[in-house]
Amino acid sequence: MKANSTKAAARRDVGGPYTITELAQEFDITPRAIRFYEDVGLLQPAREGRNRVYTHRDRTRLKLTLRGKRLGLTLQEIKQLVDMYDSPDDTAPQLQAFLAVLQAHRELLEQQLEDIEVTLAEISQHEARCRLLLAESASRKALKPGGSTCAQPEPKAGHKAAAKGPKPRARAKAAVEA
């Protein structure tokens, strides 16, 4: 395997060609993911028989695709970005369009961040309330005469429940309170 990685490193220095396995290893993704990106038109490798042959251009497109995924862009947005890489024309309108996509994505992420902060604050309130209730419950138990750990009254002697012990629900409640 070391010989293969050495060959791949040498190819990277001169710009390719690459195999699907080499790209998958380099970017820590599966060959299936690379084939999926081909299916959606993000990559277009040449073929040598049944083998895919990736160029430096394909490698760069894959790198841009993965960068877009990390940013949370949709595949359509990523395709626009990747297609800009290939465009020989004036890219100012394309860059302006991409800036608009990035701005919209930033606004979405900022809204999600705000929603997450609100949810975390609510969780903190619920945790504090639960801790308070647990502390109050422990205080009440400590004050009870006999220090019973079960909220159920003791069954009378000779009653069938006396032989069985507390009901399953009472045992579960006692376990939660303990």
Structural domains in the chain (count)? 2
In the predicted model, what is the mean pLDDT of residues 117-126? 97
Which domain, by its residues, includes 13? 2-86
SS3 category, 73: coil
pLDDT at 176: 47
More confident: 80 or 87: 80
Each residue's pLDDT tens digit, 27-55 = 999 999 999 999 998 998 998 888 889 99
Q: In the chain, pLDDT over 90 holds for what percent of residues?
A: 36
| Per-position b or e across 39-72, b if 16+ CB within 10 A of its CB | eeebbebeeeeeebebbeebbebbebbbebeeee
| pLDDT per residue as tens digits for the range 156-167 | 555 554 445 555
88, exposed or middle or buried, with CB in 10 Å at 0-12, 13-18, 19+?
exposed
| pLDDT of residue 102 exceeding 80 | yes
CATH number of the domain where residue 48 is located: 1.10.1660.10
Residues 136 and 176 in one domain: yes
Least confident range of 19-28, 38-47, 85-94? 85-94
pLDDT value of position 140? 87
CA quadruple 89, 92, 95, 100: dihedral, nearest 10: -140
- Do 51 and 124 lie in one domain? The reply is no
What average pLDDT does the chain have? Answer: 79
Using the 3D structure, point to which of 39, 68, 86 is the last residue of a domain. 86
Closest CA to 61 of 34, 41, 42: 42
The pTM of this model reads 0.56
The domain boundary, picked from 35, 59, 86, lies at 86
7 and 71 co-located in one domain: yes
* Over residues 131-150, mean pLDDT: 79
Average pLDDT over residues 112-126: 97
What is the per-residue pLDDT for 178?
46
